[in-house]
Amino acid sequence: MSLVKRNDISFIGCCASYEDAKTVLFGAPFDSTASFRPGARFAGPAMRTESVGIETYSPYQDRGLEALSVFDAGDLELPFGNAARALDAVESFCARVLDDGKTPAMIGGEHLVTLGAVRAAASRHPGLSVFHFDAHADFRGDYMGESLSHATVMRRVWDLLGDWKIFQFGIRSGTRDEFNLAGEHIKTERFKASTVRDCALEAAGNPIYVTVDLDVIDPSEFPGTGTPEAGGLSFTELLSAILCLSESEIIGYDICELSPHYDHSGVSTALACKTLREMLIAFSGRVL
Amino acid sequence: MSLVKRNDISFIGCCASYEDAKTVLFGAPFDSTASFRPGARFAGPAMRTESVGIETYSPYQDRGLEALSVFDAGDLELPFGNAARALDAVESFCARVLDDGKTPAMIGGEHLVTLGAVRAAASRHPGLSVFHFDAHADFRGDYMGESLSHATVMRRVWDLLGDWKIFQFGIRSGTRDEFNLAGEHIKTERFKASTVRDCALEAAGNPIYVTVDLDVIDPSEFPGTGTPEAGGLSFTELLSAILCLSESEIIGYDICELSPHYDHSGVSTALACKTLREMLIAFSGRVL
Amino acid sequence: MSLVKRNDISFIGCCASYEDAKTVLFGAPFDSTASFRPGARFAGPAMRTESVGIETYSPYQDRGLEALSVFDAGDLELPFGNAARALDAVESFCARVLDDGKTPAMIGGEHLVTLGAVRAAASRHPGLSVFHFDAHADFRGDYMGESLSHATVMRRVWDLLGDWKIFQFGIRSGTRDEFNLAGEHIKTERFKASTVRDCALEAAGNPIYVTVDLDVIDPSEFPGTGTPEAGGLSFTELLSAILCLSESEIIGYDICELSPHYDHSGVSTALACKTLREMLIAFSGRVL
Amino acid sequence: MSLVKRNDISFIGCCASYEDAKTVLFGAPFDSTASFRPGARFAGPAMRTESVGIETYSPYQDRGLEALSVFDAGDLELPFGNAARALDAVESFCARVLDDGKTPAMIGGEHLVTLGAVRAAASRHPGLSVFHFDAHADFRGDYMGESLSHATVMRRVWDLLGDWKIFQFGIRSGTRDEFNLAGEHIKTERFKASTVRDCALEAAGNPIYVTVDLDVIDPSEFPGTGTPEAGGLSFTELLSAILCLSESEIIGYDICELSPHYDHSGVSTALACKTLREMLIAFSGRVL
Amino acid sequence: MSLVKRNDISFIGCCASYEDAKTVLFGAPFDSTASFRPGARFAGPAMRTESVGIETYSPYQDRGLEALSVFDAGDLELPFGNAARALDAVESFCARVLDDGKTPAMIGGEHLVTLGAVRAAASRHPGLSVFHFDAHADFRGDYMGESLSHATVMRRVWDLLGDWKIFQFGIRSGTRDEFNLAGEHIKTERFKASTVRDCALEAAGNPIYVTVDLDVIDPSEFPGTGTPEAGGLSFTELLSAILCLSESEIIGYDICELSPHYDHSGVSTALACKTLREMLIAFSGRVL
Amino acid sequence: MSLVKRNDISFIGCCASYEDAKTVLFGAPFDSTASFRPGARFAGPAMRTESVGIETYSPYQDRGLEALSVFDAGDLELPFGNAARALDAVESFCARVLDDGKTPAMIGGEHLVTLGAVRAAASRHPGLSVFHFDAHADFRGDYMGESLSHATVMRRVWDLLGDWKIFQFGIRSGTRDEFNLAGEHIKTERFKASTVRDCALEAAGNPIYVTVDLDVIDPSEFPGTGTPEAGGLSFTELLSAILCLSESEIIGYDICELSPHYDHSGVSTALACKTLREMLIAFSGRVL
């Protein structure tokens, strides 16, 4: 009988040390700007605990997590109620991971945390594109007077990257202004994600950051989120889209907006774990 | 800083006065004949409160609620436990709305409340047809001895309108007798809603009342209802069917059987709000 | 007014006596080896109580439960925490039912209980095949040192029946070893159930036992289970597969892994009831 | 192994036949006049199913249910949405039980059902008193124009029995008018139930009907009810009050307003079962 | 039949206009610094909606809300994720109410919002004392580096008011440092609230602001809060304490930390409504 | 910014190494013999995660967890569905802890796991007494034919320790036989825990094992358990009883039967954490 401590709760199969790791998984437990239903801050611990319910092996890709080298760094300590400082902390952490030659993989948190990661990536990877899966355009100039908000995050990314560097998929909610402005500056596929492969070809040769707001998935498959929006992708459609990117040069990625307190049956957390497993496997191709 | 009262909770974007309104939205909070799980009486307040989580703009129709003139009258006061009096109150309210040249849009309540609205419409619009989306045929002669029941509502509508005036879609539950009788007097599409456009052509030139029992949608997308029935329509299929009717002469409509207390994650209420937004936009075409 | 006792809660429409019955429905409330989330023991009472929410008539098959002769024997008394003894009790009960010339229809419980029923069937029906609908391969040699487990049940069935007698559908989770081994000894269709008709032809002339682990259905339609796994069948797909088997020689069947405590909205229990109704009607063809 | 049907779900320990029974337990599943949150109709099945979680033996009274002769007749079939007819059915059933020399013990339903039982009792037992445990006075003349309502039930009882025949305990909610009127016609103890023994002495020699609206108990101990009202009795206080009546001539009694759908943890149903056990034992003294 | 809009959801009985009002009720929907479980932002709408379940009349004080003049201003619009700006908005609103000679009554929100109200009150009422009911001392210097936090709010109040102006009751959680520091600067009653009357005498002649963090109540009676802490006051004890202050000069007050999403049975919201009714009645004595 | 792994989720303040530890906390996640509602297996992880919501400092004892030396070993790996093997594993782990001169502190699991710990303690500490807080006597000879069950655990302890070595408190449920037999062999205080101090004096000089089945607490304060039983202790009463034992020679202890899946609001888990904190502090007196 061993007395090794069994309290280390990492995401299943993520057992590398930081030094050996090619991918660094971490959580960004921030949800203070959520306008409707908060709770995404609890996603990291929930996913780690529930990840024992899935296998490490993917029958879709015929590969397992053990073959990768992933270090799970746990959740960052972020100051609630101070978006600017929280983004700085995310950026700073990602910067170190990138500077050490590793790939950051972030568990949000509300979608705003993506901005911190993209800042770190953009300053190190000129020509960066962002592939964005979401139900909402997130392209407002401000939200109730605040420029840093889950509803403005892609607008801030666009401030940073400029025109035609953002590729959106699954978008089915936004104001008329958001849709109009997006049409002039970024690529937005409404309702579906059938153009991912074409967009990946268009972006070929450039580094890509992938951000998945899980509410891109239909609420029937993913109820555990703050702003459910009917008419979304199925898990299978999202998975296909992710696999389309497995040949691209993914230099960082995240999965956001699981809100476990609204996931009474546990299906959303289980789906998030499975999606993260597939992303970890698919996006490790470049670095292995 | 304004001191305008902020307690007025209308459905999002429904800000016209009664006088200016072309459409009058109201709730019929009655569920006393529910045989299985009551709670549809809470749908109105729940939908108004949660409607802030959707946008007023529809990317499906490229139109917004603001452009319409909708007055939200709130919920009627209906006597619990007295179906006959409750139906009279619904009929009386709809009658006034119709006599004022406006379109009534009702939030149920259990499906029985539709009978009150159809009574008002039928006496003012000869040749009225009813388009009926539902999982259940609702075509019994009586239910446990009561002729006024959620399970008999379309039979009572048929008493009123006669043969071949009712068009049913998505029906997947009923007794053998209901299906047999329906086959002789009304049009029933089982399981799907693929014939809506054809039926709309068949009814062209006649006024139409549309009633949506939300349990027509699959329980995976809409769990928050009293009698979930597997094998239903997707939101996308229902939306397509609704859009098929945007050229018809819709003189009244309703959306019934959201039971918020069974909607633990909130996805059903969100879907109901989005469906109502699309109905309000699609069915305002005639009057604008 | 009658004073007949109204406390007899059988599955709807299952009102035959044991003597007259052609099918004997019973529950096997055992879930002690569940590794993740227990509760399948509560499926039998939950399904009986909630079965009043469905009709006895199937519009899919145009037949009703009343025309069949089904006796609902209630739940067996099984010793919690002792898998070997529980399996013996299931086997013994099924043996008696089979020896009396009737068809056993079992409501699990966790999937391990299937082994008891298959033991009874295999010793009476040489050449038995098993049709297995599931998200998980359940083909491990042991699980945490125990050979009797929900995760090993099909391996134990294979010990009993030998090569190429098991036909799996919908499998989307397992270890690499399970998938590899399954590929050499049994037929496994991954992700879908499109080959059921072909497999039924292949097995024609042989007796068949059908086991449905309800987690084969996508968690969006069936959240109320211990180990939800995204990317599953729809109810409609499972129903089609079941109807493919209505001409086969089904000598026993079960439906497992409904865990009502995770079914907060009631949709999973309702779906399980409807699925059981369709199985009872489809699989009675041989004996009627 | 027996093949006796195990689907008979009676309240634990209530295994007498109707003929042998001294007490007849039955359910009155009616909640159509509930103004706030319905669901009391589900109390009977919930209490029967969950009663396996308590013992039949009371360590408080050192007696067990088996020693009594209780027949559990199941739930009556009551017409939803028609209060007058539902009350007739309750009255008719109680009348037969009383005429057969047995004691009716009713599981509500909303509190209105008590009126049916009291009607039957009053016409057979001149001088009847009613002991009423409740958070609410239930003494309105009408409620939204309806004279038959959960909020008027004790007023209707007073119409029947006249002045000073009603003894209320635990009342902590009502309009000023209700409290004023009650003060002139009935005995009302506010907030507590410390005068039960004195009232029992005052009523000695007269037959008594006892009605327990379970919301008399503090919501901390009994959350599962439609209208929770803080500041109530503890279970221990209610139990003491019940035991004070064990020497009285109880000729009928009920326990109302458990609403299982609001009892997420199960504690309210368990408390209701335990309270009913204690009532069955305490009130059987007269007839044994 | 009236067509008056019925969508105005004010707290029950709060029907005065701003001009006529002596008390101005408003909500401060802010919870961004919540470290554990957010959701207090939803308290205002939940309390208004559920207030129909209580009466306007208090049998404890023999007075009703109608006799008072309360204006319900609805919820303020506060910027999520920016504590400093949110506090400014609360302060500004309270300042106007106080300058108009009215009493502000605030529904939080997390406890930090109290600071905004106290700032407005302190600058207008020299010698202000604060009576503070809470499970937690809230007396930290900073929390994870932030000086504005729900865990520091009373420390900030002390910065403003100085020594011996804060009276705490019911405190049962804090760091050793908080308890030590509190002992030197403010009055802290641990575990109970038995000294309120004495403290009221001590503060007699001075204006008082009362703040109730509802987690002062035991979680058995009030589960719906972010940080439940066992061993608290009963509702009856809190009510007694509030009534002790009815003769004091209360110039403002609040009720905080109801988190409706954790109040699955509704008992916490009902208790909060009842407590607010009693506060509104008790604290109006001075101004009537 | 540190890259120390933050995934080590120990109970708050339990940060010693095994070598330095005086107390070894561990979980025994076994619930296979639960007859009613399983789920106690999830208590350990739930308590560790939620322990961040309490402080490490006890204002009741004016001491903090940091001053103690507690190692949190995590949960043991126990075979589901095999009670005998699970008990062996618990016994073996406790034996090692005791042999290393440390105090085992166990988080159940169902109550049966106590037997494993008592076996290890009894063989090392002659004259061992067991102080047992519970709602249920747990004194059956067997349960459905099984001698190892949560309902028989104290009977098995009595087999081991003999007469008058078990002291029960708070017992309020059991069969008549259990109460009768207990009266002849062990000390049982019904309903309350007012004799703990006297019993501690009676056992003075002997080693004591303390086992707390959390359902001893009233369901109003602790709903999150498998078999809620009304009429229990308050947290304050249990805390007082625990503090009565702080001078005794406690050589091991446990806290059992938290079932987090029934703890919808989180109050039960929070109470369990606070109780464990108080036990860890109170029972460390001997070894410090």
- Say whether B273 sits in a helix, a strand or coil: helix
Of D32, D148, D261, the CB nearest to B32: D32
Of D235, D267, D274, the CB nearest to F223: D267
Q: Quick one: what percent of chain E has pLDDT higher than 90? A: 78
The predicted pLDDT at position D2 comes to 44
Of C37, C77, C144, the CB nearest to F77: C144
CA distance F261 to chain C (A): 9
CA distance C71 to chain A (A): 33
Of D7, D74, D77, the CB nearest to C48: D7
C81, F38: Cβ pair inside 8 Å?
Answer: no
Distance CA B50, CA B272 (A): 10
C80, F37: Cβ pair inside 8 Å?
Answer: no
DSSP state of B238: H
The predicted pLDDT at position B80 comes to 75
pLDDT at position C230 over 50: yes
What confidence tens digit (pLDDT) does each residue in C30-81 have?
988 776 677 898 899 899 988 988 999 999 999 999 889 999 999 998 877 7
3-state helix, strand and coil shares in percent for chain F, rounded to the nearest 5: 35, 20, 45
Of F38, F77, F145, the CB nearest to C38: F38
Taking chain A (288 residues) in runs of 10, the rounded mean pLDDT of each run is 55 93 95 79 90 93 93 89 90 97 96 97 97 96 85 96 97 95 96 97 95 97 93 97 96 96 89 97 72
Does D17 reside within a domain?
Answer: no
- Say whether E4 sits in a helix, a strand or coil: coil
Nearest CA in chain D to F228: D267
Q: Copy the structure tokens of residue B204.
A: 């062209």
Can you say how many angstroms the Cα of residue C270 is from the centroid of all Cα atoms in its chain? 16
Partner E, chain B 49-108, Cβ-Cβ below 8 Å: 49, 72-75, 77, 89, 92-93, 96
Subunit partners of chain E (3 or more CB pairs within 8 A): A, B, D, F
The predicted pLDDT at position C33 comes to 78
What confidence tens digit (pLDDT) does each residue in C75-100 have?
998 877 788 989 999 999 999 999 99
Residue type at B169 in one-letter notation: F
The predicted pLDDT at position A11 comes to 94
Q: Quick one: what percent of chain D has pLDDT higher than 70? A: 95
Distance CA D189, CA D169 (A): 5
Q: What is the CATH number of the domain that holds C147?
A: 3.40.800.10
Nearest CA in chain A to F11: A7
Distance CA D89, CA D95 (A): 10
Residue range F1-7: mean pLDDT, rounded: 46
pLDDT tier at E7 (50, 70, 90 boundaries)? Answer: low
Residue range F166-183: mean pLDDT, rounded: 96
Residue F176 CB: number of other CB atoms within 10 A?
A: 16
* DSSP run (H or E) holding F278: helix F267-282
Residue range C158-177: mean pLDDT, rounded: 96
pLDDT at position E261 over 90: no
F221, E230: Cβ pair inside 8 Å?
Answer: yes
On chain B, the residues whose CB falls within 8 A of the CB of A179 are 57, 59
CA distance B35 to chain E (A): 23
B82, D81: Cβ pair inside 8 Å?
Answer: yes
CA distance E207 to chain A (A): 32
Does E9 reside within a domain?
Answer: no
DSSP state of E162: -
**Mean pLDDT, chain F, as a whole number?**
92
Subunit partners of chain C (3 or more CB pairs within 8 A): A, B, D, F
pLDDT at position C269 over 90: yes
pLDDT at position D278 over 90: yes
Question: Which class for B17: exposed (0-12), middle (13-18), buried (19 or more C-beta within 10 A)?
Answer: exposed
B1, E93: Cβ pair inside 8 Å?
Answer: yes
A59, C228: Cβ pair inside 8 Å?
Answer: no
Phi-psi region of E152 (alpha: psi -120 to 50; beta: other; left: phi over 0): alpha
Q: Do chains A and B touch (3 or more CB pairs under 8 A)?
A: yes
Which residue stretches of chain B have pLDDT < 70? Answer: 1-8, 35, 285-288
Of D53, D59, D271, the CB nearest to F190: D59
The predicted pLDDT at position C288 comes to 39
In terms of pLDDT, which residue wins out, C263 or C167? Answer: C167
Does D214 reside within a domain?
Answer: yes
pLDDT at position E218 over 80: yes
**Mean pLDDT, chain E, as a whole number?**
92
What confidence tens digit (pLDDT) does each residue in F105-127 have?
999 999 999 999 999 999 999 99
B79, D144: Cβ pair inside 8 Å?
Answer: yes
Does E53 reside within a domain?
Answer: yes
Domain that holds residue F158: 23-282
Q: Copy the structure tokens of residue E233.
A: 């006051």
What confidence tens digit (pLDDT) does each residue in E23-77 have?
999 999 998 877 667 789 889 989 998 898 899 999 999 999 988 999 999 999 8
Q: Copy the structure tokens of residue B121.
A: 């419409």
E6, B45: Cβ pair inside 8 Å?
Answer: no
pLDDT tier at D1 (50, 70, 90 boundaries)? Answer: very low
pLDDT at position E240 over 90: yes
Residue C136's nearest CA partner among C119, C121, C117, C149 is C149
Of C80, C83, C261, the CB nearest to F261: C261
On chain F, the residues whose CB falls within 8 A of the CB of C226 are none
Does B7 reside within a domain?
Answer: no
Partner E, chain B 97-156, Cβ-Cβ below 8 Å: none
CA distance D95 to chain B (A): 22
- Say whether D190 sits in a helix, a strand or coil: strand
Number of structural domains in chain B: 1
What confidence tens digit (pLDDT) does each residue in A228-242 have?
999 999 999 999 999
Of D64, D235, D266, the CB nearest to F231: D235
DSSP state of F254: E
Partner F, chain E 211-270, Cβ-Cβ below 8 Å: 218-221, 223-224, 227-231, 262-264
The predicted pLDDT at position A38 comes to 79
C231, A64: Cβ pair inside 8 Å?
Answer: no
In sequence order, which residues have a C-beta less than 8 Å from that of residue E171 and are 6 or more positions away?
Answer: E134, E135, E136, E137, E182, E188, E189, E190, E191, F59
Does A195 reside within a domain?
Answer: yes
Does D287 reside within a domain?
Answer: no
Distance CA B30, CA B283 (A): 25
Of E1, E8, E89, the CB nearest to B7: E8
Distance CA C139, CA D177 (A): 71
Residue range D20-36: mean pLDDT, rounded: 89
CA distance D108 to chain C (A): 16
A270, C228: Cβ pair inside 8 Å?
Answer: yes
Q: Do chains E and F touch (3 or more CB pairs under 8 A)?
A: yes
Residue F284's nearest CA partner among F58, F40, F93 is F58
In sequence order, which residues have a C-beta less than 8 Å from that of residue B147 and are 6 or more positions away?
Answer: B141, B156
Q: Do chains A and D touch (3 or more CB pairs under 8 A)?
A: no
pLDDT tier at C7 (50, 70, 90 boundaries)? Answer: low
A80, E34: Cβ pair inside 8 Å?
Answer: yes
What confidence tens digit (pLDDT) does each residue in B66-97 have?
889 999 999 998 887 788 989 999 999 999 99
Q: What count of CB pairs under 8 Å joins B to C?
A: 64
Subunit partners of chain B (3 or more CB pairs within 8 A): A, C, D, E
Query: Which of E50, E55, E233, E261 would you mutate first to test chain D, the one with the most D CBs within 10 A?
Result: E55
The predicted pLDDT at position A52 comes to 86
Nearest CA in chain A to E83: A81
The predicted pLDDT at position F5 comes to 47
On chain B, the residues whose CB falls within 8 A of the CB of D39 are 38-39
D80, B146: Cβ pair inside 8 Å?
Answer: yes
pLDDT tier at C251 (50, 70, 90 boundaries)? Answer: very high
Of B32, B41, B261, the CB nearest to D81: B32
Residue E204 CB: number of other CB atoms within 10 A?
A: 12
On chain C, the residues whose CB falls within 8 A of the CB of D10 are 5, 7
Residue type at C28 in one-letter notation: A
D129-133/E166-171 β-pairing: unpaired
CA distance F254 to chain C (A): 22
Quote the ipTM score: 0.90
* DSSP run (H or E) holding F24: strand F23-28
pLDDT at position D287 over 80: no
| Contact between residue B137 and residue B158 where contact means Cβ atoms under 8 Å apart | no
Does D183 reside within a domain?
Answer: yes
The predicted pLDDT at position F4 comes to 43
Q: pTM of the predicted model, to two decimals?
A: 0.89
Q: What is the DSSP string of A241-284?
A: HHHHTTTSEEEEEEEE---GGG-TTSHHHHHHHHHHHHHHHHTT
**Mean pLDDT, chain A, as a whole number?**
92
Distance CA A182, CA A194 (A): 18
Q: Where are the alpha helices (DSSP H) in C41-195?
A: 43-50, 83-99, 113-124, 153-161, 176-185
Q: Quick one: what percent of chain F has pLDDT higher than 70? A: 95
The predicted pLDDT at position E287 comes to 41
Residue range F229-253: mean pLDDT, rounded: 96
Exposure b/e, F220-247, CB count within 10 A at least 16 = b? bbbbbbbbbbbbbbbbebbbbbbbbbbe
Query: Which of F1, F4, F6, F7 would you mutate first to test chain A, the one with the most A CBs within 10 A?
Result: F7
Partner F, chain D 7-46, Cβ-Cβ below 8 Å: none
Distance CA C43, CA C40 (A): 5
Task: Spell out where chain A has E strands.
Answer: 23-28, 57-58, 63-64, 70-75, 103-108, 129-133, 166-171, 187-190, 207-213, 249-256
Phi-psi region of E39 (alpha: psi -120 to 50; beta: other; left: phi over 0): left
On chain E, the residues whose CB falls within 8 A of the CB of D264 are 264-265
Q: What count of CB pairs under 8 Å joins A to B?
A: 64
F264, D264: Cβ pair inside 8 Å?
Answer: yes
The predicted pLDDT at position F8 comes to 66
